[in-house]
Structure 1
Amino acid sequence: MDFTEIYKQTGSLVAFSPGTHFILTAVESRLIIRSSESFEIKRTWLLDPTPSGSTASLSKPKSVRVSSEHKNFAISHIGWSCDSEYILAACAKNGVVHVFKLRDEEWNARIDCGAEGLVKAIWAPDGRTILCFSEWGLRVTVWSLVTGASICIQYPLYPDRGYAFRADGRYFVLAERHRSKDTLGLYDASESYKLVRHFPLPTSSLASFALSPTGNHLAVWEGQLEYRLFIVTLAGVTLASFSPEPEPVLGIRQVAWHPSGHFLAVAGWDDKVHILDSLSWSPVITFELSSKISSEVAIWREPSLEAGRGFLSYERLRGPQTITLNKKAGASQLEWNQTGSLLLVRFGEYFSRTLRIILIHQKRLHHASLHIYSFPEGTRSDDTFSCPLQTIILSSQPILQAHWNPTRRGSLAFCCGNRRISTFSNEWEGESGEEEEMVESIAIPTEEFNTRDICWSADGKGFILMDKATFCCAFEVEE
């Protein structure tokens, strides 16, 4: 694996272009575009620090005077259009969204938000429309680069969740709050976001929702105090509800649709993962975190990082094992691979100070673990449903991020906030000619870099590694 040099970034704002030919970076008030092959700078823009008229008028005189300093209004959001032709850079504190064109360095556009402020800006799937979320949940403003016109959708529930586009980009689904009730709005993106329908949701305090890959169903769930999930159609019909018995003390933490849309994984704070099917919307199987692991499960333990640099293989534990668990906190991540044949469940454990000292002395302390369940096609029958635990990866440090390769079904990368990156693959060819698993820890060739986040390229051949204020890229070496 080859690593690039270390480059500056601000706010973890680094992104591959959809075609993976360029890398967009924000450094305070400057946008930088590099070639993903040579890392040569292709374009750079320094943003105008002037705030929108409403932001300036509402600010105190002292704030207006310091607005000329770029560092006080750093870029807060960036994004590529779907065809890599346009780039947006939002300055939430300024209430401004800047738009640039990759092939024309002189072309630019500017969106000034009103007195409602700005907390987030994103591209719509068509690549010519920008959605701006205001402060206080007042509205979403939809701006068209083609016509220059805008429309407003009132009272979005959240700026960071509770909205989705259907896979074909035709409909925009938004969770809203009207007259103190959870409501869902369906808008036709092809008809200038014309309202198709409004309907109330069965929740009393919506936490979020997940739109199925087929675009036919919504999984909506309550806040953290109630473990209750509902399946709703885009016509507003509630098909089913799910709440395990006995109901856990806390609510739902993670929800993930199977890529086919036929199954739904639901996890709370009780270390159980329920798999619902689309026929009955009831659990067909439930996974529960257990300390006793059979010999059929591949268990990989992190090597001693002081043992060397470069590539270090995880240790494969043989035979039945017992993993020390304490004060469980549930699944912090559910993620299917691209084919839906594997389900990643990331667990984290918390330890008291006394127990931590004992486990360190016994060399049995594991801050976090990745559990990989096999989900092969054709396992469903009228009587049985099998989804065995295939692999457990144990880490002595908290696992901050873990993501599947977007193009390869058995490739995974994860990081633990240190100077290494770890990879899992079940595509290695063994001596017998069959595919085998391999888990490796790879040192990043620099002294001052702690990997805190991972972002795969669209082609799955490399990824971006991010620290607090820097980033680098890693690419597979083709033999």
Structure 2
Amino acid sequence: MDFTEIFKQTSGIVAFSPGTRFILTAIHDRLVIRQADTLQITRSWQIPTEAAPLQSSSKGSNVVKSTNQSNQSEMVISHASWSCDSEYILAACAKRGTIDVFKLRDESWNSRITVGAEGLTKAEWAPDGRTIVCFSAWALRVTIWSLITGTSTYIQYPLHPDRGCAFRADGRYFVLAERHKSKDTLGVYDASESYRLVRHFPLPTSTLSSFSLSPNGDYLAAWESPMEYKIYILSLSGLVAGSFTPDPDPGYGIRCVSWHPTGFFLAVGGYDDKIYLLERLTWEPIAILDLQTRIGNSINIWREPPEWMEKTQGRGFLSYEKLRPPYSIGINRPDFSKSHPKSGVVQLSFNISGTLLLARFESAPTAVFLYSLPSASERIFRRDRRCRLQQRLS
């Protein structure tokens, strides 16, 4: 999404509502809601300078702590997002340690959550749209606030203050990476029962970087720190279903992981500019995709038109130009003698149908790569064809 100078925004906070009817933007200490089709302003709120009691619906009220007035730099909104039903919007000021909640249908309604001395790193909505998950600084704890009851639940010692957590697709379970007695562990909490601990088990990792839940929630992919290229596949009961390490070991670890929408494939990208597509039966690669500097004749190439900002005066868009292959892409050579070299896969994402995989490489910052995958019907047809061929040969 690209905004012109007429429609300002800060920190890249721009988000469509779940129904795509509205657009949320943050400008310093102000939230602005616009109509998605006309960009007309519908609602606007400014973060209050003083903490007020947290006001809920007419059926009840909640009270939170108050803080002293903060300076202007602390009032800048660091996180803003919609609830799942587009009814509420949260705006977090991490430096100030406050989360303000606003209601789309009632411009005068607002609530505030103020954290304590543990600080605030990130705030996000839970899948139910009435619970806010707050991550403290220094990985001290995760606080889960309910807008309905006004109560909070604390989970101690998260492994990372800004990642290493996920909700299952149906929103029933909250999975959190934790650190207990100098060992990586995983906690599974029941969101429908006030985040009651359901299961707690150790992880096979030595230093967990992060993890990713499969779309159907039956598997979890956990990978090591950037110094080791190894990924484990586990069930939510703690059983290790498989692991993968390239041969030979590239020396640096994993940067991106993305599940196929069906959960049958797992795309893994590291610092070696390679994408390994793992399949669910053996958790071994069925395809290895490399960063290609020279594009062949069988590949479609589109390029952003040069000087399009000057041609449109920053207020429009031009169609991409289709180039004739072969074509060479400029590559930045990384320095592997330094920590965190500027190389590898920085983004992996499947489309909804799972027929396309989008990839971005840090070595090629001006290019986006799209890889086509066979659809489910094509995979079934190929599998049946192989089975018939094997039966015929036998």
Q: Offset at 1:219?
A: 0.6
Partner of 2:57: none
Q: Offset at 1:23?
A: 2.1
Q: Offset at 1:268?
A: 1.0
Give 3-state SS (helix, strand or coil) of 2:92's partner.
strand
Q: Offset at 1:34?
A: 2.3
Partners in 2 of 1:334 and 1:214 — Cα distance? 19
Residue type of the alignment partner of 2:40: E
Is 1:347 the equivalent of 2:361?
yes
Partners in 1 of 2:330 and 2:78 — Cα distance? 41
Partner of 1:211: 213
Could you tell me which runs of 5 or more consecutive residues in structure 2 were left unpaired when the two chains were aligned: 53-63, 313-317, 335-342, 387-394
Partner of 1:334: 348
Describe the superposition over 1:204-251 as per-residue Cα deviations: whole angstroms up to 9, x where unpaired.
Answer: 111110110010101100010000000010001111110011101111
Partner of 2:156: 154
Partner of 1:141: 143
The TM-score normalised by the length of structure 1 is: 0.69
Give 3-state SS (helix, strand or coil) of 1:279's partner.
coil
Residue type of the alignment partner of 2:132: I
Residue type of the alignment partner of 1:185: G
Structure 1 residues 301 and 184 mapped into 2: Cα distance closer, same or farther (>3 Å)? same
Give 3-state SS (helix, strand or coil) of 1:369's partner.
coil
Structure 1 residues 234 and 10 mapped into 2: Cα distance closer, same or farther (>3 Å)? same
Partner of 1:464: none
Residue type of the alignment partner of 1:84: S
Q: Offset at 1:313?
A: 3.8
* Contact 1:55/1:95 (<8 A) preserved: no
Q: Offset at 1:110?
A: 1.6
Q: Offset at 1:70?
A: 3.8
Pick which of 88-97 and 283-292 moved more: 283-292
Structure 1 residues 137 and 367 mapped into 2: Cα distance closer, same or farther (>3 Å)? closer
Residues 191-270 of structure 1: pairs in structure 2 closer than 5 A = 191-270=193-272
Partner of 2:167: 165
Partners in 2 of 1:309 and 1:288 — Cα distance? 36
Residue type of the alignment partner of 1:254: C
Higher relative contact order (CA 8 A, sep 6+): 1
Give 3-state SS (helix, strand or coil) of 1:368's partner.
coil
Partners in 2 of 1:24 and 1:367 — Cα distance? 28
Q: Offset at 1:77?
A: 1.4
Describe the superposition over 1:339-378 as per-residue Cα deviations: whole angstroms up to 9, x where unpaired.
Answer: 11011122243xxxxxxxxxxxxxxxx7533222110122
Structure 1 residues 7 and 240 mapped into 2: Cα distance closer, same or farther (>3 Å)? same
Partners in 2 of 1:303 and 1:140 — Cα distance? 46
Q: Offset at 1:263?
A: 0.1
Partner of 1:370: 368
Partners in 2 of 1:91 and 1:282 — Cα distance? 44
Describe the superposition over 1:8-35 as per-residue Cα deviations: whole angstroms up to 9, x where unpaired.
Answer: 2222222221112222222222222222
Partner of 1:421: none
Q: Among the aligned pairs, what percent are the same residue?
A: 55
* Contact 1:49/1:70 (<8 A) preserved: no
Q: 1:314 aligns with which of 300, 316, 321?
A: 321
Q: Offset at 1:324?
A: 5.8
Residue type of the alignment partner of 1:28: H
| Larger relative strand fraction | 1
Q: Offset at 1:152?
A: 0.4
Describe the superposition over 1:176-231 as per-residue Cα deviations: whole angstroms up to 9, x where unpaired.
Answer: 11111111110111111110011111111111101100101011000100000000
* Contact 1:55/1:114 (<8 A) preserved: no
Partner of 1:362: none
* Contact 2:233/2:240 (<8 A) preserved: yes
Cα RMSD of the aligned pairs, angstroms, is 2.8
Partner of 1:289: 291
Give 3-state SS (helix, strand or coil) of 1:136's partner.
helix
Partner of 1:117: 119
Partners in 2 of 1:151 and 1:218 — Cα distance? 24
* Contact 2:15/2:25 (<8 A) preserved: yes
Residue type of the alignment partner of 2:129: G
Q: Offset at 1:253?
A: 1.3
Partners in 2 of 1:367 and 1:24 — Cα distance? 28
Partner of 1:32: 32
Partners in 1 of 2:303 and 2:107 — Cα distance? 50
Is 1:107 the equivalent of 2:109?
yes
Pick which of 230-239 and 280-289 moved more: 280-289
Residue type of the alignment partner of 1:282: E
* Contact 2:165/2:175 (<8 A) preserved: yes
Residues 382-393 of structure 1: pairs in structure 2 closer than 5 A = none
Residue type of the alignment partner of 2:360: R
Residues 87-98 of structure 1: pairs in structure 2 closer than 5 A = 87-98=89-100
Describe the superposition over 1:247-298 as per-residue Cα deviations: whole angstroms up to 9, x where unpaired.
Answer: 0111111111111110001111112111100111111111122345432222
Structure 1 residues 4 and 51 mapped into 2: Cα distance closer, same or farther (>3 Å)? same
Structure 1 residues 199 and 41 mapped into 2: Cα distance closer, same or farther (>3 Å)? same
Partners in 2 of 1:384 and 1:242 — Cα distance? 29
Partners in 1 of 2:225 and 2:385 — Cα distance? 33
Give 3-state SS (helix, strand or coil) of 2:311's partner.
coil
Residue type of the alignment partner of 1:267: G
* Contact 1:51/1:95 (<8 A) preserved: no
